[in-house]
């Protein structure tokens, strides 16, 4: 009975300063990520660096930085972060510009003849500014739309500069290019506009007017057009660009109900980005449908738990910011799963807490640190 009472108390809202179930869910996902990322990265690390632990060691280091960042941001009042969000956004904009500066930005060529400018190289450290821009955009846009009244719109210099800053950030992310990140941020902005009271009919018309531009960006830009062709018939390109998606399908098939011996599958040897964007394919190959189901249940639990926490917030600003973080986390997870299962065309989007990559891991830890502060006991109606 005492154990049942303790479990019941754990799930009560406000039983501790920071919500225990959310913290356990976050660190469970990170732990799952370390296990599967290591399994998926051993062969690539041995092949590229002659060190099977290369990616594991780097991910553990970034995980330490991420956890430290989580603890720091969970202690900083989100009102303070929002207050300084304009400065953070300007810094983010400068970092996005710096990826195009020779000697500082790192350009990577592709088989489609297109260069990707997504990273900054400083010594031995490589960062991806578009990931960190998610934090500044969420902070700045949540405050902007929280104060925005569509019924009494007064376009002053401050509002024009704010919209210009958000627009410039999105444009720079598009031309890197990081189309998946752009779609993520557009969805969050759409949600903020909806929360701020913009008429649904006008919002639908606005969205419909933007749709042709998105179609052009997808169908007329070289590498995206090629990805669309591969998505429509991956087996036609199975010996070149379509090999990644076809191998992902095979990983889901080979995993069966309970998976294969860890690290022994075909995808671990031949799937490109098996430890980054396509880490879920490696996960299912190792742990099968059962492992995939457990992952989905943990993510769904986190989503529902955070949703109910946000419903109890005293502050509208905190609700805006927290809801933005939840939407970003949920959509990024869903988009990655849709990519590896072939529901949508391939786009470079990481799986939160599971994919290899320092910038994405640290960013998601910071966002959840901010969320922990927003949903702390003193901010809830109990």
Q: What percent of the chain has pLDDT over 70?
A: 89
Looking at per-residue pLDDT, the higher value among 230 and 213 belongs to: 230
Among 378, 376, 365, CA closest to 306? 376
Residue 44 reports pLDDT greater than 70: yes
CB-based contact 197:150 (threshold 8 Å) = yes
Q: What is the pLDDT of residues 279-292, one digit of tens each?
A: 999 999 999 999 99
Query: How many independent structural domains does the chain possess?
Result: 1
Residue 8 falls within a domain, yes or no?
A: no
Q: Is the pLDDT of residue 326 over 80?
A: yes
Give the residue, 301 or 213, on which the prediction is more confident.
301
Question: Quick one: pLDDT at residue 84?
Answer: 94
Residue appearing with tokens 């998105």: 214
C-alpha 272/C-alpha 274 separation (Å) is 5
The answer to which of 18-22, 187-191, 238-242 has the lowest mean pLDDT is 238-242
Task: Say whether pTM exceeds 0.85.
Answer: yes
Mean pLDDT of 13-18: 79
Other CB atoms within a 10 A radius of the CB of residue 351 amount to 29
The answer as to whether 91 is a domain residue is yes
Distance, in Å, from the CA atom of 26 to the CA atom of 43, rounded to the nearest integer, reads 27
Tell me what pLDDT residue 133 has. Answer: 94
Q: How confident is the model at residue 226 (pLDDT cuts 50, 70, 90)?
A: confident
Most confident of 212-226, 227-241, 289-303, 337-351: 289-303
Instruction: Please report the pLDDT score of residue 156 as a whole number.
Output: 75
Q: Under 8 Å CB-to-CB from 316, ≥6 apart: which residues?
A: 146
Domain, as residue range, for 45: 18-379
Asked whether residue 347 is assigned to any structural domain, the reply reads: yes
Give me the mean pLDDT over the 98-107 stretch.
81
Beta pairing class for 125-127 and 105-109 = unpaired
Distances (CA, A) of 121 to 64, 65, 130, 177, 277: 21, 18, 14, 17, 21
291 compared with 6, residue with greater pLDDT: 291
Query: Please, are residues 226 and 240 in contact by the beta-carbon 8 Å criterion?
Result: no
- For 48-82, what is each residue's pLDDT tens digit? 999 999 999 999 999 999 999 999 999 999 999 99
Tell whether 268 is covered by a domain: yes
pLDDT of residue 9: 63
Predicted local distance difference test score (pLDDT) of residue 147: 78
| pLDDT band (50, 70, 90) for residue 330 | very high
Q: Which among 264, 238, 232 has a CA at the least distance from the CA of 251?
A: 264
- The rounded percent of the chain whose pLDDT value lies above 90 is 53
- 3: confidence class by pLDDT, cuts 50, 70, 90: low
Specify if 262 maps to a domain.
yes
Q: Are 271 and 248 in contact (CB under 8 A)?
A: yes
In a domain, 9, yes or no: no
Confidence of residue 201 (pLDDT cuts 50, 70, 90): confident
Residue 30 lies in a domain: yes
- Dist. CA 319–CA 336, nearest whole Å: 26
In a domain, 271, yes or no: yes
Lowest mean pLDDT segment, chosen from 16-20, 73-77, 222-226: 222-226
| Res. 115 pLDDT band, cuts 50 70 90 | low
Residues 6+ apart with CB under 8 A from 314: 379, 380, 381
């Amino acid at each position: 009975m005492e154990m049942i009472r303790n479990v019941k108390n754990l799930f009560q809202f406000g039983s501790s300063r920071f919500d225990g179930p959310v913290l356990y869910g976050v660190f469970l996902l990170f732990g799952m990520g370390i296990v599967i990322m290591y399994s998926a990265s051993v062969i690539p690390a041995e092949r590229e660096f002659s060190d099977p632990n290369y990616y594991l060691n780097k991910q553990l280091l970034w995980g330490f930085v991420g956890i430290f960042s989580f603890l720091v941001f969970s202690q900083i009042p989100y009102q303070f972060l929002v207050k300084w969000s304009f400065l953070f956004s300007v810094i983010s904009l400068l970092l996005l510009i710096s990826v195009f500066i020779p000697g500082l930005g790192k350009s990577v060529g592709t088989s489609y003849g297109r260069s990707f400018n997504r990273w900054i190289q400083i010594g031995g450290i490589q960062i991806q500014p578009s990931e960190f821009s998610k934090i500044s955009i969420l902070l700045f846009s949540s405050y902007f739309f929280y104060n925005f009244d569509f019924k009494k719109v007064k376009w002053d210099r401050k509002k024009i500069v704010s919209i210009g800053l958000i627009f410039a950030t999105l444009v720079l992310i598009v031309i890197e290019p990081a189309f998946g990140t752009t779609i993520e941020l557009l969805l969050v902005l759409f949600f903020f506009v909806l929360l701020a009271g913009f008429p649904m009919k006008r919002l639908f018309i606005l969205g419909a007017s933007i749709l042709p531009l998105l179609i052009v960006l997808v169908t007329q830009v070289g590498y995206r057009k090629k990805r669309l062709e591969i998505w429509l018939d991956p087996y036609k390109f199975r010996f070149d660009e379509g090999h990644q998606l076809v191998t992902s399908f095979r990983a889901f098939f080979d995993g069966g109900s309970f998976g294969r011996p860890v690290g022994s599958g075909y995808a671990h040897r031949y799937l490109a980005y098996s430890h980054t964007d396509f880490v879920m394919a490696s996960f299912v190959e190792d742990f099968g449908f059962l492992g995939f189901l457990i992952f989905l249940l943990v993510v769904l639990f986190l989503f529902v738990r955070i949703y109910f926490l946000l419903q109890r917030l005293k502050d509208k600003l905190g609700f805006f910011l927290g809801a933005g973080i939840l939407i970003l986390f949920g959509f990024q997870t869903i988009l990655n799963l849709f990519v590896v299962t072939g529901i949508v065309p391939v786009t470079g989007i990481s799986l939160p807490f599971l994919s290899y990559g320092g910038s994405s891991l640290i960013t998601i830890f910071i966002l959840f640190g901010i969320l922990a502060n927003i949903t702390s006991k003193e901010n809830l109606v109990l």
